[in-house]
A and B are shown apart, each in its own frame.
Chain A
C-alpha cells in the first residue's frame, strides 16, 4: 500500500523526535541543524485515526492527504520557499483523544508548522487544545461538532461544515424537495446512532423540523454497534412515516437499509443526514437494490469541478473508494500548502495569519473560495445527493446538481 512509500517513515520521524527531545533537554541548538540535515523540506503533520474503531475513515483520510502532498511535490513544492518539498509526518490518533494528543506533542517536537486531520469530533477537540498550547495551526478535516470552532482557539480552523450548518441545509433542502413535489410528506421518523454525531444531529433536527411544518412521529436512538434492526424497522412500519431520516455509521446503515428492504418498508423518502452509507459508492455497488433512491445530505465533492472528477478517476483506478474523508483531506492539504505559499514562511503565526485571510479556490469541494471567520470556513456546506441509476448524483443546490430529485420514491 502507499504507506510504505512515505518519504519520512515513522521510525525516522520518531528518531528525529527523540533526538529533538534529547537536544531540547540538553538545551543545545542541534534542532535547526537537524532540520537542515534532512533537506530544506516543509514538514506537515497528518493526523488520522488509522487504528482502532475509526480505522477505515482514518486510512481514507490519510490517503487523501498524502495524495495531495504527492501532487504538490510533483508540481514543484512550495515555490515561495524555493521549491521546498512537503514532508508529511504521519500520525496515528488511535481513534482516541489521548492518542491524538500524544501525536500532537510529537509533531510539535518535530517542529511541524501545521497539523491537519483529526476526523472524529472528540479527537479534534483534544488535538485543537493540545496544538493551541504551542500556537500551532491546526486545520480540521471533517469533525462536525460546533464546539470545535467555538472555544476561541486562534489556532484552529475548520474547512468543512459544522452541525449547525449541516442540519439547517438538510432541512432547507428537504423542504425544497417536498415543496417541489407538491408537499406529499408531513411525518418523519429519525433513526440515529447515540453518540456525539447522531445525538447532536437529532437534537437539532427535533428543534428545527416542526417549524418547517413536519411532524416527528418518533426519534429512535440506537447504539453502535447494533446487531439487528428488525424492531426499529417494525416501529417504522407500524407508524408509517412519510420520511425516514437515518443518521448513523456505515455498518449500521447497511443493516438498517437491508432490513427495510426485507420488510418491504417503503416510505415516501429515505432522507439521510450525514448518513454512513447513503452516499457511499461501496454501499451502492454492493447493495444496488437496497440503495436505490436514498437521499443524503452529506459532505460531497463538487461534481462540476474537473479537478474533482480527475481525482475521482485516479482514486478509483487505484481500486479505492472515493469517500468524503479522502477528498476533504485532499482539499485541506492543498489549502494549507496555499497558506504556506502566501505566508512564504514556516513560521506558525504567519501561517495562522495566512489561513485567516485565505481565499482559496483550488479545492474540490462545493464551498467557493475559503473565508474563515473565527476559524470556521463560511462557505462550507453539505450537498444533497440521491442514488440514481446505480450511481450517486448531486441533486441540490441547483448550481451543483447533476440530476433532479426523485421524490416520492417510486413504488
Chain B
C-alpha cells in the first residue's frame, strides 16, 4: 500500500519532530541526571517560554530565532531561582518531595499563564513560517529543518559545557557522588541551581524554535511532557547524547507507529517502549548504571 518513498518521508518527518522532542528532553535529562528529580514543571516552563517568545515578537518585534539569545538567559535565571529558593528549600532533600513541589509549581505556572493571558490560542505567522525545501518527493518545513540543526548544536554545546568547563565538571561530580563533591568543597545547592537553570534554558531554546510552526496557549507545553520523559528514560537519565539520539529515535517510532496503527493508537508505541526500557534496561541507552 505504501511505497518506500512514503515510508522514507515518514521517517524524515519523525526525525524532524524528534529533534524538537530532543530539545525539550535535553533540559529534562540534565535535571534528572543531577538532581534525580522528575521535573513536573517542565511542561509548564515550556508553555511559559512559548509565551515569552510570542510576546517578544508581538510587543518588541523580535524574531523568535533572535529572541532565543534574550529568552534563554532569562529562563536560566528563572530556573536557577526556582531551584535555589523554592524547590531546594521546600523539598528538605527528599526526592519524593521534589516531585510534589515541581507538581505544585506546574499547576501554579500554568494557571498563572491562564490568568495573565487567557485561554485563547495565539500563533505567529512569520515570513518564513511556511517556507519549505523541496526535496523532490516531499517538502521539508524550513523552521523544522532549522530546529533539527539547532538540536545538534545545542546538544553539542551542552555536552562541551559538561565535559570541558569547571562548572560542568562540578555538575558531574555532584551527580555522581554528592557527599564526596560536598567534601571536596563544591557548593551543592549552587550546582543544583545551575543545573536547573541550564535545563530551563534548554527548554526556552526549544520553545523559541517551536514557535514559528506551533501554537501558544497556557497548556501547550503539556503535550510534550510525557514524550520528553520517555526520551529521558530511553536515552539514559543524565545523558546529553542519549537525549538527542533518544529524541530522534522516539520521533521516528512515533511517526511509524502512528502511520501503521493510526495516530491515536500509535501513541502506545511510545509508551510501550517506555515501559519495556524501564523493565528491561532502566538505565537506557547511554545512562550510568543505577
Contacts and interface: CB of A to CB of B under 8 A. Distances in A.
A250 B16 CA distance: 24
A50 to B, nearest CB: 8
B139 A254 contact: no
A286 interface: yes
A222 interface: yes
Interface string B1-13: 0110010011001
Interface stretch (B112-120, B198-206, B279-287): B112-120
Interface residues of B, number: 37
A59 B120 CA distance: 10
B203 to A, nearest CB: 15
Contact of A223 (B10, B121, B263): B263
A263 interface: yes
Given A55-B119, A223-B267, A255-B214, A230 B130 contact: no
Contact of A254 (B17, B114, B215): B215
B65 to A, nearest CB: 18
A238 B17 contact: no
A56 interface: yes
Contacts of B215: 251, 254-255
A304 interface: no
A252 to B, nearest CB: 9
Contacts, number: 82
Contact of B224 (A221, A227, A254): A227
B264 to A, nearest CB: 4
A286 B123 CA distance: 8
A55 B224 CA distance: 20
Nearest to B122: A286
B219 A53 contact: yes
Given A51-B114, A263-B138, A286-B125, A234 B10 contact: yes
Contact of B120 (A56, A234, A264): A56
- Residue of B119, B130, B259 with most partner-chain A CB within 10 A: B119
A287 interface: yes
A232 B263 contact: yes
A114 B259 CA distance: 48
Given A254-B121, A255-B215, A263-B138, A230 B17 contact: yes
Query: 10 smallest A-B Cβ distances: which pairs?
Result: A55-B119, A222-B263, A230-B13, A56-B119, A225-B223, A194-B264, A221-B264, A228-B17, A56-B120, A223-B264
Given A56-B121, A227-B224, 5 more contacts: A227-B223, A234-B6, A262-B132, A263-B138, A289-B130
Interface of B: 2-3, 6, 9-10, 13, 16-17, 114, 118-121, 123, 125, 129-130, 132, 138-139, 141, 213-215, 217, 219-220, 222-224, 255, 258-259, 262-264, 267
27 contacts: A55-B114, A56-B119, A56-B120, A56-B121, A59-B119, A221-B262, A221-B263, A222-B264, A225-B222, A225-B223, A227-B223, A230-B16, A230-B17, A231-B258, A231-B259, A231-B263, A232-B263, A234-B9, A254-B215, A255-B214, A255-B215, A258-B213, A261-B130, A262-B132, A282-B120, A286-B125, A287-B123
